Structure 1
Amino acid sequence: MIPYLVTVRHRRSDGRWLRLYIPVLPILLVLSPLLLLGGLAACLATRVSPVGALRGTGRLLWALPGTRIEFEQGRTALLVSVR
């Protein structure tokens, strides 16, 4: 299943949380022409098979739901959750 929502929580140095909800599908639809052209150019520049790169990207996206990434340094924290 492709992820459909990314939640980013950032704790500022004053202790307040900033929460962002980022829908994945609308962003992919808007940026898809740029992603395809950039990906094709990168594949041609590095002599990588575009089909293999697309297959690897699909597998990576398929594995992302349920991923949770946390960083904390001092009084600042960042939490990224993929659903």
Structure 2
Amino acid sequence: MKKRLQSEEAKKIAISSLGYDHGINLDDIDLTRDLMTDKEVEKIFGISYRTLCNHRKKGLIKYFKMGSKTMYIKQILTMDILKIYND
């Protein structure tokens, strides 16, 4: 139960820190598979680290920090990336 509580708390913190109001159901997020690091984002979307940093700096993609790591929630990041490259 303690692990589940910590996981639910982490989800709430991540969603609230992203400031994203897209009706994302916290139950649909699995932190073991839905969190992505910079390296994973670069590889999956085929963008450079510099491009990723520029998108973050411009506020085009949502992210949050866990300690010193920059993390992304896959569903939100996908929507942000699609918006950037389809506008």
TM-score, normalised with respect to structure 2 = 0.27
User: Greater strand percent: which structure?
Assistant: 1
TM-score, normalised with respect to structure 1 = 0.28
Larger radius of gyration: 1
User: Greater helix percent: which structure?
Assistant: 2
